[in-house]
Structure 1
Amino acid sequence: MPPLDHLQVFNALNASPHTRLELSAQLGDGLAAALWSNRDDARDYQAPSHHTLSCYIADGTGTFRRQRPSDRGAPDKLCVMPAGHESNWVINGSIRLAHLYISEEQFALGCTRLLDREPRELQLREATFLDDPQQARRFRQLIGLDWAEPAERLLASSLAHAIIDHAVLNQVGLRQGLKLKGGLAPHQRRQLLDFIEANLEQPLTLEELALRCNLSAYHFARMFRASFGLPPHQYLLARRLHRACQLLRMGALPLGEVALSCGFASASHFSNRFRQALGATPGAYRAAFSC
């Protein structure tokens, strides 16, 4: 995830003299969050390169989309603003709302992991003023955490992942009229995913993965990215870190064993990669979830 000031929706709100940024944080794994207050304003979001999920925390009864003036917001209402979509908003009165920003790569991983579909086949459906008590409760838990405190930021990241997973399972649909070109065949994709999951502890190479699909390494890398929305090494690292998080939350397996179980060459290599992705060491992550 780029820095917050590189995110279009964040910048559009932050540029307004009527808006106050209460909280913001990078949560790692292509996620960021912000808590805003605003009043008597108008904001336009022009085809952002990231997805945005929002939840109205307080007020918002005078907020509406310019094209739909009869539909008004309210506390606990949710909005889904997909990447690439334009939306125009009018805020009459006051509003307090939380935003969760999601990279295209993190969305792609969710589609692959939860739906076993190619991300390019799917789209996050735009929605305005949804009622979803479970999601609203998660957002309220999210903003109740101290994002400046490392352990609570890790808990916030876990909550953010739960919010994304829920959205992928409930707000994703097939792209209409899509004609897929390139990419791996469905049986290749399925066999490859199964092989990766069964061998995460092994030092898998691009050439080895390509051989399983009877492709050159160069052609395989292009086909993989077309199907999965990210390059092979990034997908493999994400799956290893996902397994590491599961093992760290489950118990007291020594960090060196966690590293080897997830295919990292050493505990130090594991720690460096983990910190880069999640903003904390594996030990700090375990401690945050053992409290």
Structure 2
Amino acid sequence: MSTLTQLEVFNELNASPHARLEASAQLGDGLAAALWSNRDDARDYHAPRHHTLSCYIAGGTRTFRRQRPLFTGAPDKLCVLPAGHESNWVIDGPLRLAHLYVSEEQFVLGCVRLLDREPRAVQLHDATFVDDARQAQRFRQLIALDWHEPAERLLTSSIAHAIVDHAVLCQVGMREGLRLKGGLAPYQRRSLRAFIEAHLDQPLALGALAERCQLSEYHFARMFRQSFGLPPHQYVLARRLQRACDLLRLGGTGLGDIALSCGFASASHFSNRFRQAMGATPGAYRAAFLN
């Protein structure tokens, strides 16, 4: 997820003459946020390539999906709009809402990490006007922060991850009628996850991972992507960066030591990769959580 203008739901609202964008930001790690106000409008979403989680902040009591006119929103109501969904909305009266946009890559990482499921075997359920006080509170914490002030934006990213994790745990279910073909066996997937986690501080060559499954590199890479939703190198990098975030939050460990313990060749390599993913240096990230 490189720019907000590549997000279909964002673009659809941004094209409305009635909607007003109050704030927006890329949060790194395949996440982006936006705060909108709107009124007297109609919007249609057609198969976006990203997931959208939303929370009504104010108004919305006469907002509804066109096919369900008697089912209306209200403050703190939550909606889940999965990638690929279709929906048609009528906004009658004022509305203020927060959006969190989630890349497919970030979603599949959550499925593997939190559910121990193949991403292709599960789906994020379309949900409208859900009541969940804890999730609504997270959204209100999110919009209370200054997304462009470096320290607060990192806190925003942390809250955004908590929102996504909650949605994965509560709004994801098995795909009905799906017969999986190809991919790694469940025991191979679990063995690989454990091996990768135990060896993040070491070089993890594709050949060595393929050998653990007794597969050629070509077939292993294809089957890994089917089962994990990402190529092996992207998955390993994501896990290294997550471990680095955990260590940075704890404090007390030098950046060079964190780089080595997470498998980065040097502190500069670590810093470059971290900045690309999180939009901030490791030092700034640590300072945001320790101050």
The two structures, once aligned, show a CA RMSD in angstroms of: 0.5
- What secondary structure sits across from 2:75 in the alignment? coil
The C-alpha deviation readout for 1:226-271, integer Å capped at 9, x for no partner, is 1111100000000000000000001220000000010001000000
The C-alpha deviation readout for 1:169-228, integer Å capped at 9, x for no partner, is 000000000011111111111111010001000011111111111111111110000111
Distance 2:2 2:89 in 1: 24
Distance 1:230 1:59 in 2: 39
The C-alpha deviation readout for 1:135-167, integer Å capped at 9, x for no partner, is 000000000000111111111000000000000
- What secondary structure sits across from 1:265 in the alignment? coil
% same residue = 78
Q: Tell me the TM-score normalized by structure 2.
A: 0.99
Output the amino acid matched with 1:78. L
Output the amino acid matched with 1:276. Q
Distance 2:46 2:252 in 1: 47
- In the other structure, the counterpart of 1:103 is 103
Aligned residues: 291
Q: Which runs of 4+ in 1 moved over 3 A?
A: none
Residues 1-12 of structure 1: matches in 2 within 5 Å? Answer: 1-12=1-12
- In the other structure, the counterpart of 1:38 is 38
Distance 2:167 2:285 in 1: 25
Residues 1-291 of structure 1: matches in 2 within 5 Å? Answer: 1-291=1-291
Q: 1:2: how far off?
A: 2.9
Q: 1:40: how far off?
A: 0.1
The C-alpha deviation readout for 1:105-145, integer Å capped at 9, x for no partner, is 10000000001110111000110000000000000000000
Output the amino acid matched with 1:241. L
- What secondary structure sits across from 1:256 in the alignment? helix
Output the amino acid matched with 2:122. L
Q: Tell me the TM-score normalized by structure 1.
A: 0.99
- What secondary structure sits across from 2:40 in the alignment? strand
For structure 2, list consecutive stretches of 5 or more residues without a partner in the other structure.
none
Q: 1:55: how far off?
A: 0.1
- What secondary structure sits across from 2:268 in the alignment? helix
